[in-house]
Amino acid sequence: MPIGTLYSSNITPDKTNGIGNWTEAQFVRAIREGVRPDGAALYPAMPFPSYARMTDEDLHALYAYFMHGVQPVAQAVRPNGIPWPLSMRFPLTVWRWVFAPSPESARKSAERSFPTPELARGAYLVEGPGHCGACHTKRGLAMQETALTAEDGPQYLAGGAAVDGWTPPSLRGEPRTGLGAWSVADLTAFLRTGRNMRGSAFGNMDTAVHHGTQYLTDDDLTAMARYLKALPAANKAEQNWQTDPAATRALRAGGKLTNGQRLYLDNCAACHRSTGAGYAPAFPPLAGNPVVMNAAPDSLIHIVLTGATLHGTQGAPSSFTMPGFGNRLSDAQVAAVVTFIRHAWGNDASAVSTMNVARLRKQLTPSTMQSAPPTPVDPAPAQPGSAPQPPEQDVSQDTSKPATTPAPTGHQPSEDALHSAPHPAMKAN
Ligand code: HEC
Ligand code: HEC
């Protein structure tokens, strides 16, 4: 976190290191109000302002599960690496008084009236245990969420600040940068499998799907999707995204290409294609993808520098990895290729500067950078477990050349013979 390193608690029923000695009342107070049995306040990294809404019934079931369904683990928790004076916990108590809802007010808000029981269920899951707003809502100066429910105003779920360098986009109805173009079925597929025809989960959203939403029932996922689809756009000025074939034509014609276009052909087109349609749902489309048009480009710079892995889920067991380009592309080259995808195919989002990339490269911890697979020097045979090679081979064949090498002539759209039109919106294909 910006203030230092916070280690999460041992919540197994171990009596010395975990919560084995807690009573149910103490457990409920920690979850709903962020107060430990010794009276100390928890850091709001634990999303108790959302959990305040949880029902007695659900908390009772959770307590029973933790006490009887989880194995105790005798592991001491590492002390937090947060320097004094921020390490003092009493200001957190003040924070809690000011910003966290009381269980009574949270209960009243959770029980407000909804048009259908399904919407009420969706609101409960998204605003409560799902704590989607912890990432997807902007925080104020004291790190408090600026809205905790749909009632609190249009800033709720309108997109949050980057967490670990990944930017959570708007989950409201904006047609380009939000979920306006997504159907209920798109949303449930994304939350169940981490992927759909419009994008795939990466960074900490991959974690949220892998460890969380993939296990929800179809009814609960549908309720959440309907609730999200009922949130009107916060930014009313956005026009619908429409495909523009100019970038595809330029990439296919070859010849005089801009720096960004050439970098895209050499490094990205193998998987994301010259149409930007990708091979969804394995390799996500970049054309019309809301995360690509997000006002903040942090996630895009991050994924190009470090790569990312979409983990397998029960509903879609295959895992796909995007390689990192941090040790292959300079800051200026990353800026050029990210700027290209933000402008191509009808996308329109601000350009990215070299300084933007340099700042983020510094922030990403060494371990994150190391998680990028090493750049292959030779066109080595695919490693077992690595992402399958798509038909367009320009990346694997060109990796020993500097990225600025002009694209070989005769870049033919061989892809299209194999995959006719997987992206619903790519009419020009
Ligand atoms: C080997 C195939 C491959 C190559 C090459 C590749 N990507 Fe990706 N890309 C992927 C996969 C797979 C994902 C999904 C990763 C995840 O969900 O964790 C992805 C995700 C993305 C995303 C996020 C979109 C979303 O909805 O998940 C962006 C942006 C992106 N890639 C841009 C690029 C750019 C720019 C390049 C070239 C510098 C590039 N990719 C090269 C396979 C590739
Ligand atoms: C730990 C932070 C975090 C939490 C918690 C979280 N998200 Fe996300 N979410 C992200 C990030 C970062 C992205 C952008 C990367 C991506 O598209 O996968 C994202 C992307 C998404 C997308 C794709 C949007 C798009 O335009 O491509 C959906 C849908 C989504 N989240 C829904 C949810 C829901 C519903 C919840 C609550 C159950 C939730 N998220 C909780 C961080 C989070």
Q: What is the pLDDT of residues 340-373, one digit of tens each?
A: 999 999 999 999 999 999 999 998 855 444 444 4
156 or 143, which is more confident?
Answer: 156
Closest ligand 1 atom to 194 CA: 17
Probe target for ligand 2 pocket from 205, 294, 300, 302, with the most ligand atoms within 8 Å of CB? 205
Angle between helices 246-253 and 259-267 (to 10 degrees): 80
Mean pLDDT is highest, among 142-146, 404-408, 422-426, for 142-146
Domain membership flag for residue 277: yes
Question: Looking at the 3D structure of the chain, how many domains does it have?
Answer: 2
Stretch 208-232: mean pLDDT? 97
pLDDT digits (tens, 9 = 90+) for 51-79: 999 999 999 999 999 999 999 999 998 87
- Last residue of one domain, picked from the residues 90, 111, 132: 111
Stretch 160-174: mean pLDDT? 93
CATH number, position 257: 1.10.760.10
Domain membership flag for residue 262: yes
Average pLDDT, the chain: 85
Domain membership flag for residue 57: yes
pLDDT at 244 over 50: yes
Stretch 197-218: mean pLDDT? 96
Nearest residue by C-alpha to atom 38 in ligand 2:
130
Q: How far apart are CA 188 and CA 313, in angstroms?
A: 13
Characterise 194 by phi-psi region: left (phi > 0), alpha (psi -120 to 50), beta (else).
Answer: left
Domain membership flag for residue 211: no
Contact 310, 207 (CB under 8 A): no
pLDDT on residue 379: 40
pLDDT on residue 326: 94
pLDDT on residue 365: 59
Stretch 387-412: mean pLDDT? 39
- Last residue of one domain, picked from the residues 70, 86, 111: 111
Closest ligand 2 atom to 200 CA: 18
Q: What is the pTM of this model?
A: 0.86
- Last residue of one domain, picked from the residues 77, 111, 145: 111
280 lines ligand 1 (CB under 6 A): no
Probe target for ligand 1 pocket from 268, 306, 322, 389, with the most ligand atoms within 8 Å of CB? 322
pLDDT on residue 99: 77
96 or 341, which is more confident?
Answer: 341
Nearest residue by C-alpha to atom 40 in ligand 1:
268
360 lines ligand 2 (CB under 6 A): no
Domain membership flag for residue 190: no
Among the bound ligands, name the one nearest to the CA of residue 276.
1
In the chain, the percentage of residues whose pLDDT exceeds 70 is 82
Tell me the CA–centroid distance for residue 117 and ligand 1, in Å.
38
193 lines ligand 1 (CB under 6 A): no
202 lines ligand 2 (CB under 6 A): yes
pLDDT on residue 366: 57
83: containing domain: 1-111
Stretch 91-105: mean pLDDT? 79
Stretch 130-150: mean pLDDT? 89
pLDDT on residue 2: 66
Nearest residue by C-alpha to atom 19 in ligand 1:
322
The continuous run of DSSP H or E covering 227 comes out as helix 218-229
Q: How far apart are CA 213 and CA 76, in angstroms?
A: 29
Closest ligand 2 atom to 207 CA: 1
pLDDT on residue 421: 35
134 lines ligand 2 (CB under 6 A): yes
166 lines ligand 2 (CB under 6 A): yes
pLDDT on residue 45: 82
What number of other Cβ atoms are within 10 A of residue 414's Cβ?
A: 10
Domain membership flag for residue 429: no
Domain membership flag for residue 199: no
In this structure, the answer to whether residues 250 and 104 fall within a common structural domain is no
284 lines ligand 2 (CB under 6 A): no
pLDDT on residue 416: 36
pLDDT digits (tens, 9 = 90+) for 285-323: 999 999 999 999 999 999 999 999 999 999 999 999 999
**What type of residue sits at position 420?**
S
Closest ligand 1 atom to 203 CA: 18
pLDDT at 197 over 90: yes
Contact 29, 35 (CB under 8 A): yes
pLDDT at 102 over 70: yes
Mean pLDDT is highest, among 82-96, 247-261, 400-414, for 247-261
Nearest residue by C-alpha to atom 26 in ligand 2:
290
pLDDT at 374 over 50: no
Tell me the CA–centroid distance for residue 415 and ligand 1, in Å.
17
Tell me the CA–centroid distance for residue 339 and ligand 1, in Å.
15
Nearest residue by C-alpha to atom 39 in ligand 2:
132
Domain membership flag for residue 179: no
Closest ligand 1 atom to 320 CA: 12
Phi and psi at 426, nearest 5°, equal -85, 75
**What type of residue sits at position 256?**
K
Closest ligand 2 atom to 177 CA: 26
5 or 58, which is more confident?
Answer: 58
pLDDT at 253 over 90: yes
Contact 133, 228 (CB under 8 A): no
pLDDT on residue 406: 38
- Smallest CA-to-CA distance from 151 within 106, 205, 185 is with 106
The SS3 assignment for 84 reads: coil
